[in-house]
Structure 1
Amino acid sequence: MAFETITLMVGGAPLLHRRCTLSASAEQAVRQASFDLAYSGPGLPCREDAAATVLVGGALWLTGYTRDLNWAHDAETRTYSVSVVSRTVDATEASIDHPTGFLEHCDLAAIGKEFDTSNIGVECMVQAVKKALHQIIPGETLFATLERETRARGALISDTPQGKLHITDKPDGRHAGVLQRGVNILRASGTLSGRYNYDKVKVRGQASFGTRGGALSPESEARGTADRKRTLIIYHEGEAESGRLKKRAGWEAKRAAGQGTSARITLAGCRDAGGMVWTPNRLVSVVDDWGGLAQDMVIASLQIEQDAEGGTTTELTLKDPRALGGENPRGDSAPGWGAPGEAEPEYRED
C-alpha cells in the first residue's frame, strides 16, 4: 500500500503519530485532521489552541490550531490524540466585531474584507454585482454573513491550506489521470436517491424598495429532475432582484440533485497521476462500469487516512460537476447521475 509522509507541527516542533485522518470539503469552510500520537515524554504532548500546521509530503495542507487534546491511561499504558482545525474555524465561531455593522455599495469581495475582523483572509473568485447595503446581524459570524450572499450568488465557501476562506462558483481545476475500476480503484460505492428530486425549484423574495410586483412578489423558477409534480419553494433572505433570484433558483435545483447522487471511491496514496495531492472542488474523470459511471465528476469532499499497517489511502466523495457550479460533463453514465441541465431559469413578477 502507498505511503506518504504526513507531518504534524505544533508550535514549530513536529509531533510523531501512529495514525491520522485528514478531511476537507468543497462545501465546508473548515478542514480538519486528527492524530493518534506516538508520545512517551513527560506530561502532555501539547496544549489546546496552539498554532499548528499539517504537511503532506512537505507541502502545506492545513494551517490552524490544535482543537481537542484527549488522553487516557491504565496502570501500564497511555494514549494521546489531538485534533487540528483550520484558521477558518474563527470565521464560523467568532462574532464579527465591527464599529458600524454595515457597508454601502459593496460586492462579495468587499464584504469579506470589511467584516473580516479576525484577520482570517478571504479569497473571492466570484465576480458579483454590487449591492446598495450590507448589514450584519448582531453576533453574526463572518461565515454566516458571507453565506447569506453566496447562497444568492450560487457560490461555495471552503478554505485553503493557508487557512483562508475561499469563495468560488465553479470547479477550481482538474486532476490528472482517470479513476477506473480494475486499474486504480480499490473500493467504490454510490447512492442515487430520489429524496432531493423536484420537478421545479421556485425562489421567492421581496425587495427593500418599491411597490410594484417586481418588488413585492418576484419569483424565479428552475427546472429540476423529478418526472412528477414535486415542487420546492425557497424564500430568498436577501435583496430580491431578477438576477439574484434566477441565479439562486438554478443553483438550488442543481444542488438538490447533487445531494441525492454521490459516489465514494477509495484509492491508494493521496496523489493523482500527475503527483498532485487530491483536492476538493476539482474535476476528475471516472470510468466504473459496475457503478454506471463514465464521465467527469467533481470532488465534493475527501478523507486521507494513514497508519503504519495500511499505508495511505484516500476516499473521494464525487458528484456531478453541475451540482457544484460546473458544466455538463457530457459523459456516458447511466440515467440518474446527472444534475439539471442548462435551461435558463424563468423570472416572473406577480
Structure 2
Amino acid sequence: MTEEIVTLVVGGKKLAGFQEVNVTRSMEQAAITFGLKATNPSWHEDAWELRLGALVELYTNGDLLCRGYIDRYEADHGEGGQHEVRVSGRSKAADAIDCPPAKHKTGRVEGKTLVDVAKEFDEFGIGYEADVPLKPIPKVQRYPTDSVHETLEREARAQGLMLMGKPDGGVLITRAGSKRHAGALVEGQPPIKRFGVSFSAEGKFSEVTAKAQRALGTSAKDLRQEVKEYDPEVGRYRPLVVFLEGDGTEEDLKTRAQWERLRRQGTSTSIPITVTTWRDADGLLWEPGRLMAIKLPSERVDQDMTLSSVTFTQNHQGTIAVTTWVDPRSHGGKKPKGKSDKAYDAGKGLLE
C-alpha cells in the first residue's frame, strides 16, 4: 500500500509531522472538511499563521486533498513542555454555505443553467462547474436571508442534482455514476479491513406527494399541481408531502417527487467499508460519485455501487479510509450491474 505523507501549506511554508489527520469528502456536502493534530514542539511558531482563518492547502504525496480555510485553531500546553495544536476547517465553498450574496443587484437570474446561476452569485471566487447536461431555469429568485448554497441547493433538488465539494475548493454540480474507480472491493480480500451494512426505516415513506402551483394560469391544473411517487418497500402507510422549489411543469414535479424518494433511499440503505488505503487499484484517491464493483457474499451484495462519502484518516493506528457505498440511482445514476439482494435496490432512477 502507498504510504501517505500529508503536508499542509500556509503562507508558502510546509508543515508536516501530524499525529492525526481526518479529511472528509461527500456527495452530500459542497465543502470538504478537515482536521489535524500535531504535538511536535517545532510546530509552535509556524502554526501561528493558522490562527486567524488562514488559507491553506492540504496535500498527500503531492495530490491535493483540500484547498480551504481554517475554521478553528486550538493549542494546549501541559507539564514538561507538552504541547498540542489542533486545527479544523473546510474547503473554500464554506463561504458560499455560510454567507448570503451581498453584491448581486436584484437576487434574480432568468433563463440560465444552474452553473451559470452559481457563477452570477459567486462573489467569493468559489468556482462552479458541471459534468452533466443542464437545462435553463426560467427564473431563480434568491431569498434575502439565504446563503449562496441554500439558493443553489434548492434549485438542484428540483432538477435531481447534487452539489459536491472539489479538492480545489470549488463545487461540482453532478449526478453519480459517470466515472469508475479501478478494481473491486471483495469480501475477504485486501484492501478491506472491515465492512457492514446499514438499513434504516426512519427517513423512508410509502408515498411522496410533490405539490406546486404555476406562476401563470388559473385553471385547476395550474393551481393544484400534484404528483405521487411510491416506495413499496416501506410496507405501511407513511406519507410525505414536498413542494417544488419555484415554478415548473408536471415533468419537473415528477422529477422532484422521484428525487425525494431516491435520496431517502440513499440515506436509509448503505454499505460502510473501511479500507487500508486512500487509493483505488490505479492509485487514484477515493472520489465520491464514482462507481465500483462491491462483492460481499455474506451480506448478499454483488453489484456496482457509488461512493457516497469517504473519510481519509491517519493516526497512531495507521492509515485507513472509511468509505460509504449506495445504489447509484439514489445519487442520480443508472441501474447498476449485478445481482444483489433486492433489499439494496433503490427502484426506478431518474435516468430510466
**Match of 1:61?**
65
Are 2:88 and 1:80 aligned? no
CA RMSD of superposed structures (Å): 1.9
TM-score (norm 2): 0.92
Are 2:340 and 1:333 aligned? yes
**Match of 1:115?**
121
8 Å contact kept, 2:193–2:275 = yes
Are 2:263 and 1:255 aligned? yes
When structure 1 is superposed on structure 2, of 214-223 and 121-130 the one drifting more is 121-130
Are 2:22 and 1:14 aligned? no
SS at match of 1:251: helix
Give the Cα–Cα distance (whole angstroms) in 2 for the partners of residues 80 and 194 of structure 1: 41
**Match of 1:28?**
29
* Residues 217 and 128 of structure 1: CA distance in aligned 2, closer, same or farther (over 3 Å): farther
TM-score (norm 1): 0.93
Are 2:52 and 1:48 aligned? yes
**Match of 1:92?**
97
When structure 1 is superposed on structure 2, of 287-296 and 1-10 the one drifting more is 1-10
| Equivalent of 2:283 in 262, 275, 289 | 275
Are 2:240 and 1:232 aligned? yes
**Match of 2:200?**
193
| Aligned residue identity for 2:22 | T
Are 2:206 and 1:202 aligned? no
Are 2:182 and 1:148 aligned? no
Unaligned stretches of 5+ in structure 1?
Answer: 346-350
Give the Cα–Cα distance (whole angstroms) in 1 for the partners of residues 135 and 287 of structure 2: 29
* Residues 127 and 147 of structure 1: CA distance in aligned 2, closer, same or farther (over 3 Å): same
When structure 1 is superposed on structure 2, of 69-78 and 127-136 the one drifting more is 127-136
Are 2:170 and 1:164 aligned? yes
Give the deviation of 1:40 after TM superposition: 1.5
Give the Cα–Cα distance (whole angstroms) in 2 for the partners of residues 258 and 139 of structure 1: 29
8 Å contact kept, 1:192–1:337 = no
Are 2:221 and 1:214 aligned? yes
Give the Cα–Cα distance (whole angstroms) in 2 for the partners of residues 321 and 95 of structure 1: 32
- 1:302-317 equivalent positions in 2, closer than 5 A: 302-307=310-315, 309-317=316-324
SS at match of 1:253: helix
8 Å contact kept, 1:197–1:226 = yes
| Aligned residue identity for 2:52 | E
* Residues 12 and 84 of structure 1: CA distance in aligned 2, closer, same or farther (over 3 Å): farther
Deviations 1:303-350 (A, max 9, x none): 11112x4331111011111110111114221231110225999xxxxx
**Match of 2:185?**
179
8 Å contact kept, 2:262–2:346 = yes
Give the deviation of 1:266 after TM superposition: 0.6
When structure 1 is superposed on structure 2, of 148-157 and 51-60 the one drifting more is 51-60
8 Å contact kept, 2:332–2:350 = no
Give the deviation of 1:245 after TM superposition: 0.7
Give the Cα–Cα distance (whole angstroms) in 1 for the partners of residues 134 and 184 of structure 2: 34
SS at match of 2:335: coil
Give the deviation of 1:281 after TM superposition: 1.0
8 Å contact kept, 1:52–1:66 = yes
| Aligned residue identity for 1:256 | R
* Residues 274 and 344 of structure 1: CA distance in aligned 2, closer, same or farther (over 3 Å): closer
Deviations 1:17-39 (A, max 9, x none): 12211111011011011111243
8 Å contact kept, 1:2–1:313 = no
| Aligned residue identity for 2:347 | P
When structure 1 is superposed on structure 2, of 106-115 and 121-130 the one drifting more is 121-130
Deviations 1:251-306 (A, max 9, x none): 11111122110111011111111111111111111111122211111111111111
When structure 1 is superposed on structure 2, of 320-329 and 168-177 the one drifting more is 168-177
When structure 1 is superposed on structure 2, of 227-236 and 175-184 the one drifting more is 227-236
When structure 1 is superposed on structure 2, of 194-203 and 140-149 the one drifting more is 194-203
Deviations 1:80-123 (A, max 9, x none): 11113100001101210112221222221221111111121111
Q: Which has the higher helix share?
A: 2
| Aligned residue identity for 1:87 | K
8 Å contact kept, 2:329–2:350 = no
8 Å contact kept, 1:26–1:300 = yes
* Residues 301 and 330 of structure 1: CA distance in aligned 2, closer, same or farther (over 3 Å): same
Give the Cα–Cα distance (whole angstroms) in 1 for the partners of residues 4 and 53 of structure 2: 26
What is the total number of aligned residue pairs between the two structures? 344
Are 2:301 and 1:296 aligned? no
Give the deviation of 1:44 after TM superposition: 6.6
SS at match of 2:263: helix
Give the Cα–Cα distance (whole angstroms) in 1 for the partners of residues 256 and 141 of structure 2: 20
**Match of 1:348?**
none
Deviations 1:111-137 (A, max 9, x none): 111111112111123433323322111
* Residues 208 and 31 of structure 1: CA distance in aligned 2, closer, same or farther (over 3 Å): same
